[in-house]
Structure 1
Amino acid sequence: MVRIIVSEMMQICKNPTKRNTTEIAERMVSRYPKSLKDVIDGDVIGLGYHSLVKQLQARIENVKRQYTPKITKRKAESDNDTDEIPAEQKASVQDTYGCVNWEPKFLPLSETVESQLKRKEDMKKMFKDKNYTAEDVKELIKSTYYTQRKDINKDTSILKLCQEWPFLFHKTGMAEHFQQLTGINLMEAFFTNLDKKRERILNFLKTVFAQKENQVLESLLKLANEKGRSSGCTEMILLLLAFFGEKEEHMFHYVEKTSLAEEVEMEDVPATPCLVVCGSSCFTADCFMLSVDQKIVNDDITAFSCAICLMFGSYYCFNIHYPVGLRSTLEFLQRCFFSINPERGTKVELSKRRKIFAVNPRVLTLIADLADHEWT
């Protein structure tokens, strides 16, 4: 189909642009959504036609290649999308990616600056005395959200935020902040999508892709040896890393099973959100720690799935960009498990050498392969 469409296009125009292919892909998907739309378990990815655009463009490039002179003088590349935008503005665009309430303009009607400070001190005391309920924390986080965002958006250090807003780094507090920031229920979205999609993704990675890709096959053998108790979530995350060719050490740092937070050698831990695993394997670990900016901010997480949610939530709550070494895994989790699905932009660290895509091409490839796997 792609070959036929491109052949017809190039009879009319020898050099179709991305705008041309995008318009055609959009029309095709709107006409045949059940066959062509980028969907995984009912969730539309991006605008729904990015993978078709990618296929059309790839075919056009292949057809044009035979007409391209083998020796051409390279022109200096200019990145018009980024060069004309100041660094501060670029960072702001990335920080607000996927957010619906990044910086509220006004305090709640019932609040004053003084009442916000009092609530903050109350929370610090509650956290220190360990005397609180989940509902109390949710209400206080919600009512002080305005002040939290002000502190975060003026680049307050993670250590200072940890001292001033300790609940932000724990399950209930981060989940409520994330809900206010993105409109998504952090834990509920993840566990709902995990129940719905995990088995199909695992089945595909273990059968179809493991036969083609040595790295995934090696990871499967390693997982079989390490597996202490069954955990579909753990297995899925590790296989996704292998599928995208991204290294575990960018997401996990392993320490001795009995290690305390103050004993972790932080210079070896990534600066981006990372899980410190107390043990030699994510399967057998009884405790995980959350590290942000090479600071342990939560040293008592007992469930791997909860640890993944806190790690992912940290990228949004604290305006942190995805590292290049985890860009595909994190975007796949973002779109397919946390239901954050912007049509444009990126959360990945920007680079002049790398093109910016509305949806990561490798994520689109996995989604297309999963869709094909449904029919086999």
Structure 2
Amino acid sequence: MDVECIQELQRLLPELDYEKLMVITEHLSSVVGVTKKEDLAFIEKDDFKTFLTPIQCRKVIQAFKQKGLNDSREADVSCVQNEQTRPSSSMDTRLTDGHAKLTPPQAQYHFPGSSLTKTQNSWISQFEIPWDKMPASLSQALLRGQRAHPADRRLMVRIVVAAMQKHCTNPNRAGCIEIAKMIVSKYPATFLDKTEQGEQLGMGYFSLVNQLKTRVEHVNRNNVSDRIRRPPTMKNASNATITKTVRCKVDSYGCTNWQPKAFPDGETVDSLEDRRKNMVAIYQSTGPRAADMPDIDNSMNLTYIHQRQMINSCPPPSIDLIKEQWPFLFTKRGLCAHFKTLTDVDICDRVGEALQNKGKRIIHFFQRQTQNREIRGILQDIDTTVTQQSQTGIAAILILIKYFLEKDDSIFILADQTATKTSIEKDMNLPATPRLIMLGHTFLSSTKWMVSIEGKVAYVLDEHLGFADALSVFFACFYVFNLEYQEPACATLEFIQRFFARINPEDGTKCTATTGVSRKTGEVVKRKATSINNRVSSFLCQLTEFEWKNLD
């Protein structure tokens, strides 16, 4: 396939990172069987819908449909003759249905020691998992639909990789993805990544892909000739763009009602604007306590489409401007109701229950497992501090921050217990990204909370509310206002999202930063974009394995 096809794909989907581009192209060339640009006309939606959003699929289909038509007009005589031998209805039907598709750009890239072409993964369609070589205990788990014992799962990975290497000495990640799909689709009850509630976690096979690829890399650690290396440079021009002028996938990430299209029955643009102005007048005369009024609840619900139109506009409005137009959105009640409509998740109930139940399990895990001095210090403080309802939740989040090698101030800011909104904004240099301000002598002893966004205090939680309510408001801000996770806290925030809030989109994360500070060296490094944060996925597997071993 021509390099221009790769460039066209990048132009159409500038938000794609390099690894995602390579995975898509490998899949199309090795699994779907695209070998030349003429094959683009025969690709269908199902060929790459697992890698792209519906909108991205449509963009690619439309662009390459047109490209296919243009190429066919310029084809030489032999190509025309070949075209005539093919039933015309096949081409016409595919193009009419809008399913003409894209081909794998990567087929034209050549790396030291290998050529990422169709031949590399052509063995996958004939590959069979050697189930007959699995240990008896795993075979029993498969028959009963039970989760695999961690040791059996690791042995299975070794057996499968050994079988893969009989066909390809160094299977690439795209190959590992296809094999993982085979395994999980055949025995989902045993291998599917899922939450305790049985909900699919991300793609459902992310942890197995990582295990397969890690094993491949391990057995090839001394086999330099078969290693696959990526080109040294391949940057997207949009990386240099600072001001966000278009909306991208991360804005609607995990949302079920990001931008409704239809107005409520009986409502118009003018009537919704009148409701907005009326709520502003009520807020100015009564203050935030008016959020509990039934009329405000009803008006906020009816004007949801109006709120989203402003929040989703480009360039994004400032938080100050949103607050000026929608003051009740900056109350806990208004924000959490908006979040419920946006994601179909009752954030306060879900986070509150998770902090108490799952928070205790996280603490128990580290009480039995960790040698980390900072985490040990937090665990000891729990024992010596007066027990509070919020303490378990605070301790669990603090421990996660330490475990993921992130810093407390990437999420929390400690302030004096007597501090006010005015004094905090005056005396503290608040960051642009959201922070949960903890008012107390220490994080664990905090009893009052605020949330800051764009360098200002946006929420002051009522004194009777607990830490779960504060964390819910803090986390909801990222979704309601289309905010990406700050890179220094991306693992902790994604863990809260997937494990506590149980929001599990199949692909991608809410942090698109291309660089970050290494947790180990402190140096600025290039971030590797993945469908699930590797540290989050790894810890979830460790936690599951720990609890599996300690069922008694």
TM-score with structure 1 setting the length: 0.90
In structure 2, what is the equivalent of residue 38 of structure 1?
193
> Which one of 33, 42, 48 corresponds to residue 204 of structure 2?
48
Q: Which residue of 2 aligns with 1:235?
A: 395
Deviation at 1:306, TM superposition (A): 0.5
1:69-80 correspondence runs (5 A): 75-78=231-234
Larger CA deviation: 7-16 vs 123-132:
123-132
2:270 matched residue in structure 1:
114
Show the counterpart of 2:307. 148
Alignment CA distance shift 1:338-1:27 (3 Å): same
Report the counterpart of residue 540 of structure 2 in structure 1: 367
| 1:76 counterpart SS class | coil
Partner residue in 2 for 1:158: 319
CA shift in 2, pair 1:111/1:366, >3 Å? same
Relative to structure 2, which stretch is displaced further, 356-365 or 131-140? 131-140
Question: Paired residue for 2:354?
Answer: 193
Structure 1 letter corresponding to 2:512: E
Aligned residues: 372
Distance in 2, Cα, partners of 1:286 & 1:72: 53
2:224 maps to 1:68 = yes
Checking the alignment, whether the CA contact within 8 Å between 2:461 and 2:470 is kept in structure 1 is no
Please state if 1:25 is matched with 2:180: yes
Q: Deviations over 1:217-256 (max 9, x none)?
A: 2332344455563522111111111111111111111121
Q: Is the 8 A contact 1:301 1:307 kept in 2?
A: no
Q: Does 1:176 align with 2:337?
A: yes
The CA distance in 2 between the partners of 1:273 and 1:338, in whole Å, is 18
Change (3 A) 1:71 1:363: closer
C-alpha RMSD of matched pairs (Å): 2.7
Aligned partners of 2:160, 2:246: CA distance in 1, in Å?
A: 36
Question: Secondary structure at the residue paired with 1:289?
Answer: strand
Match of 1:205, SS state, is: helix
Name the CA distance, whole Å, in 1 between partners of 2:479 and 2:206: 24
- Contact persistence 1:288–1:299 (CA under 8 A): yes
Amino acid at match of 2:341: Q
Deviation of the 1:171 alpha carbon: 1.6
Q: Which residue of 1 aligns with 2:58?
A: none
Gaps of 5+ in 2: 1-154, 516-525
Question: Which shifted more, 258-267 or 307-316?
Answer: 258-267
What does residue range 87-102 of structure 1 map to in structure 2 within 5 Å?
Answer: 92-102=248-258
Higher relative contact order (CA 8 A, sep 6+): 1
**8 A contact 2:170–2:227 mirrored in 1:** no
The letter for the 2-side match of 1:92 is C
Where does residue 316 of structure 1 map in the other structure? 479
1:51/1:365 contact within 8 Å kept: yes
- Deviates further, 101-110 or 320-329: 101-110
Give SS of 2:438's match.
Answer: strand
1:332 equivalent in alignment to 2:505: no
Deviates more, 1:127-136 or 1:321-330: 127-136
CA contact (8 A) 2:486 2:511 kept: yes
After superposing on structure 2, the runs of 4+ consecutive aligned residues of structure 1 that deviate more than 4 Å are 69-75, 82-91, 222-228
The answer to whether the 8 A contact 1:250-1:270 is kept is no
Decide which structure has the larger Cα Rg and report it. Answer: 2
**CA 1:34–1:106 in structure 2 vs 1: closer, same or farther (change >3 Å)?**
closer
Match in the other structure for 2:447: 286
What is the deviation of 1:362? Answer: 0.7
From the superposition, tell whether residues 373 and 13 of structure 1 become closer, same or farther in structure 2 (CA, over 3 Å). same
- 1:259 positional shift: 0.9
Equivalent residue number for residue 11 of structure 1: 166
**Counterpart residue identity of residue 257, structure 1:** Q
